[in-house]
Amino acid sequence: MTAIDTPSAAPVESRRPDGPFRVALRMWRTRIGIVLLLLLVSIALFGPYFAPYGEQEFVGQPNTRHVPGTLLGTDYFGQDVVSRALYGGRSILILAVTSTALALAFGIAIGLVAAYNRGRLDDVLMRTMDISLAFPQLLLALVALTTIGPEPWLIVAIVAITTTPRIARITRGAAVPVVERDFVGAAEALGESRPRILWSELLPNVSGPLLVEANLRLTYSVGLIASLGFLGFATRVNAADWGLMVNENRIALSVQPWGTVLPAIAIALLTVGTGLIADGLSRASAGIDRAKGDQ
């Protein structure tokens, strides 16, 4: 028969289907989240270089609102509140990011293996995850920290271990329908190795929900580590730590609110920022707002 040219054979600009991150970037909630996150991360990382006083420098009378040379007064120990706040973010952020990253690595690995292999291995892995989910996160952390002591590695380990099952479950849930799809079968028929199938066939196709989950877990980790700080598990003696600062200065809340309010605002903005990004990403990967692309 006469070959009739496909109308669509005309050059079409080739574009990768927009990933969830790109779609999310079109939403204001994500943009605001990113601005907040960047702001708080830069304060936490670079704050110490701009601090007018040292982390533990005594500058005046304790719990005083107006001390000459300070912006917002002194805390319970006579240290500069602003300087303490600028110092206090680094540890919390590093601990939260490290533990979330660890949890992601383990959780994704467990979830993908469970989804791909199904059967007994799946049962064993996922029931173990379910059991570990039953432990209250904070309680477990408190028990471990009181027995062993407030070591940074221990905080990271505890937060990572308690976060892993949640990520594993999300990953497995997202990966099961992908495993059923034929391109995975095509890869198997080519004899691609199991790790390669997990890495290059499954992982790219579950990235949407995982991005959401990563952000959500980061938000919770910040909260958890701040709570541990508040409960007194600082990793160094008298170190500045947002969570700990809230606790140290809460007695003087009525006389010198800044000592409590400033770190509390910092924690709040950090979690709201990551939360907004998570929300944007989840909307993007669920396909909501895809058409409108705004708001």
Partner 1 sequence: MSDEITLDIRDLRIDVAETGNDIVDEVTLRIPRGQVLGLVGESGSGKTTVGLAVLGHARKGVAIAGGSIDINGHSLLAREAKELRSMRGSLVTYVPQDPSSSLNPALRIGTQILEVLEHHGFGRNQRERHERVEEVMAEVALPGVPEFLRRYPHQLSGGQQQRVGLAMAFACRPAVIVLDEPTTGLDVSTQSHVLATVRDLCHQHGVAALYVTHDLAVVANLADRVAVMYAGRIVEQGPTKDIFERAQHPYTRHLTAAAPDINSDEPVVGLRGRAPAPGKRPGGCSFALRCELATPECSASFPTEREVGNAHQVRCHHAGQPQHLTAVAPPALLRREGDDVALRISAVNAGYSGLQVVHDVSFDVPRGQCVALVGESGSGKTTLTRSVGGLHREWTGEILLEGTALEQSARDRPTAQRLSIQYVFQNPYSSLHPRRTVGESVGRPLRVAGASAREADLAAAEMLERVSLTAAYAHRYPDQLSGGERQRVAIARALVCKPSVLVCDEVTSALDVLVQAAVVELLVGLQRDLGLSMLFVTHNLPLVRSLAQQVVVLADGKVVEAGPTEQVLTRPEQAYTQRLLADTPSIAAALAGG
For residue 130, the minimal CB distance to partner 1 (Å) is 24
Query: Minimum distance from CB of 249 to partner 1 (Å)?
Result: 50
**Helix boundaries (H) for the chain:** 20-25, 28-50, 81-87, 89-117, 119-133, 137-148, 152-180, 182-189, 194-196, 207-230, 242-249, 258-286
Nearest residue (CB) to partner 1, 118 versus 236 = 118
Quote the least distance from Cβ 208 to partner 1, whole Å.
Answer: 11
Residue matched to tokens 């000592």: 259
Amino acid in the structure at residue 88: G
Which C-beta is closer to partner 1: that of 6 or that of 254? 6
- Considering the complex, state which of residue 139 and residue 190 has its C-beta at the smaller distance from partner 1: 190
Q: How far is the CB of 136 from partner 1 (least distance, A)?
A: 35
**DSSP character for 80?**
B
| Residue number, 139 or 291, with CB nearest to partner 1 | 291
Tell me the torsion sign for CA atoms 153, 154, 156, 157.
Answer: positive
| Identity of the residue, 6 or 147, whose beta carbon is nearer to partner 1 in the bound complex | 6
**Where does this chain bind partner 1 (CB under 8 A)?**
1-9, 11-12, 14-17, 180-183, 185-192, 201, 204-205
Shortest distance (Å) from residue 190 CB to partner 1 = 5
DSSP characters for 232-283? T--SSTT---HHHHHHHHGGGTTT-THHHHHHHHHHHHHHHHHHHHHHHHHH
